[in-house]
């Protein structure tokens, strides 16, 4: 070709070679091809062999522009930043967005899959960190079941979950052979004193629906103030079920048959008595209770009385042990419980301090 005809080419000499149908220039040492088959990165893409690379050979950042503005920067230390020239130290990839924009969106159209996945394997690290810097902000909003709208609190919260049927579901790993296990744990600190509660929790051989400090209560209407008032649930050292009703003394006697649904879930024997309380609502000689069993009891008037008066009654009994319907194995030892030991609060890990994040970036998206 034409290059071979030039014995001593000058540095920078440009030649069109007809047999290769390409321009070549001499860089002072060798001829370099220009165009489709050169070392340049082609606008239409390159056919790679596995040794090519795009980037810098020194510590200077690689910058990408659109519309004359820098949009993304790959720093010499490996950090990647979108819309910010100086990402926070420790961020491998960071994206910054102004009002009305989502900094990062992840989409998954098929299952199983995840729009966003976070993974951590250090004991004091977090798989996904969600943060809001304002006092009334919400750190994380999660929406399920095509609810479409995330409901949050005016005062803010660490997380807010919204769903059509369930706002939040919490599951434990049932395959793990752990004695103390639960599905949820809640902790609040008021005046420096921690208050805590476990939900769906097992301690020893007893399953608890809810166990924690504080008092079980409910909220009712207050006709005196037009607002709301609090009422409290009684507590007991044993696991008890109760029922109540009314009866009628006929010639001084009455038989009360307990609801079979109540009977099926209590334990009554020599060591587990049926506790019965009767209040006569009319003149009589007084009454006593006899013939007690899990199925019911008899009310008899004293002194062989023959009164015909109404009465109300209430019964308490130890809840029967819960057994697995398939294997018959013990699920929860309810009937023997009396002041069982309580779980302590969960040990807290070292607090993770929020890294300082700044929005001193490249500017608003256009």
Average pLDDT, the chain: 88
* Band of pLDDT at residue 288, cut at 50, 70 and 90: very high
H or E element that contains 261: helix 260-263
**88 and 50 within one domain:** no
Among residues 54, 72, 88, the one where a domain terminates is 54
What mean pLDDT do residues 44-56 have? 77
Among 7-21, 33-47, 178-192, 269-283, which range has the highest average pLDDT? 269-283
**247 and 168 within one domain:** no
Q: Is residue 277 part of a domain?
A: yes
Q: Is residue 247 part of a domain?
A: yes
Domain total of the chain: 4
Q: Is residue 347 part of a domain?
A: no
**279 and 315 within one domain:** yes
Task: Find the domain containing 44 and state its range.
Answer: 1-54
**315 and 246 within one domain:** yes
**85 and 3 within one domain:** no
**231 and 249 within one domain:** no
**245 and 326 within one domain:** yes
What mean pLDDT do residues 197-214 have? 91
Q: Is residue 191 part of a domain?
A: yes
Residue position matching structure tokens 């440009």: 14
pLDDT reading at 189 higher than 90? no
Please give the pLDDT value at position 47.
Answer: 74
* Band of pLDDT at residue 267, cut at 50, 70 and 90: very high
This prediction has a pTM of 0.73
Among residues 203, 218, 235, the one where a domain terminates is 235
Torsions phi, psi for 175 (to 5 deg): -80, -15
Contacts 24+ apart (CB under 8 A), 30-33: 31/3
**322 and 251 within one domain:** yes
**250 and 226 within one domain:** no
H or E element that contains 170: none
**328 and 244 within one domain:** yes
Sort 305 into a burial class: Cβ within 10 Å, 0-12 / 13-18 / 19+: middle
Please give the pLDDT value at position 265.
Answer: 98
Which residue in 169, 140, 86 sits closest to 361, CA to CA?
86
Distances (CA, A) of 231 to 129, 215, 220, 281: 38, 10, 7, 27
**73 and 30 within one domain:** no
User: 47-56, 235-244, 313-322: which range is least confident on average?
Assistant: 47-56
Q: Is residue 116 part of a domain?
A: no
Q: Is residue 340 part of a domain?
A: no
pLDDT reading at 358 higher than 70? no
Q: Is residue 355 part of a domain?
A: no
Q: Is residue 125 part of a domain?
A: no
What mean pLDDT do residues 59-63 have? 92
What does the alpha-carbon distance between residue 54 and residue 41 come to, in Å, rounded to a whole number? 8
* pLDDT tens by residue, 151-183: 899 999 988 988 888 888 887 766 555 566 678
CATH code: domain of residue 263: 2.60.40
Say how many C-beta atoms besides its own lie within 10 A of residue 9's C-beta. 17
**43 and 27 within one domain:** yes
């Amino acid at each position: 070709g034409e290059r071979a005809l030039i014995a001593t080419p000058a540095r920078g000499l440009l030649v069109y070679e007809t047999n290769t149908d390409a321009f070549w220039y001499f860089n002072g040492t060798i001829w370099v091809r220009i165009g489709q088959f050169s070392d340049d990165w082609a606008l239409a893409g390159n056919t790679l062999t596995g040794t090519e690379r795009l980037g810098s050979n020194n510590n200077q950042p690689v910058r990408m522009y659109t519309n004359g503005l820098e949009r993304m920067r790959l720093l010499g230390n490996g950090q990647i930043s979108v819309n910010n020239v100086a990402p926070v130290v420790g961020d491998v990839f960071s994206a910054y967005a102004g009002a009305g924009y989502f900094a990062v969106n992840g989409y998954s159209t098929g299952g199983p899959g995840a729009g966003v996945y976070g993974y951590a394997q250090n004991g004091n690290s977090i798989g996904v960190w969600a943060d809001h810097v304002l006092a009334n902000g919400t750190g994380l909003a999660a929406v399920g079941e095509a609810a479409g709208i995330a409901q949050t609190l005016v005062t803010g919260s660490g997380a807010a979950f919204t769903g059509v049927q369930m706002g939040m579901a919490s599951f434990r790993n049932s395959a793990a052979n752990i004695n103390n296990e639960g599905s949820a744990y809640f902790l609040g600190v008021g005046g420096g004193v921690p208050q805590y509660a476990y939900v769906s929790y097992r301690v020893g051989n007893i399953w608890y629906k809810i166990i924690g400090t504080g008092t079980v209560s409910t909220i009712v209407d207050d006709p005196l103030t037009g607002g709301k008032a609090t009422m409290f649930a009684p507590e007991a050292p044993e696991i008890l079920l109760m029922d109540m009703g009314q009866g009628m003394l006929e010639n001084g006697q009455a038989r009360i048959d307990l609801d079979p649904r109540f009977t099926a879930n209590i334990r009554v024997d020599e060591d587990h008595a049926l506790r019965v309380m009767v209040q006569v609502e009319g003149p009589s000689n007084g009454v006593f209770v006899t013939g007690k069993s899990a199925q019911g009891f008899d009310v008899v008037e004293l002194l062989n009385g023959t009164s015909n008066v109404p009465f109300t009654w209430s019964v308490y009994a130890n809840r029967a042990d819960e057994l697995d319907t398939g294997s018959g194995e013990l699920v929860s030892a309810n009937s023997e419980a009396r002041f069982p030991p309580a779980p302590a609060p969960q040990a807290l890990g070292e607090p993770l301090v929020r890294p300082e994040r700044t929005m001193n970036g490249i500017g608003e998206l256009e």
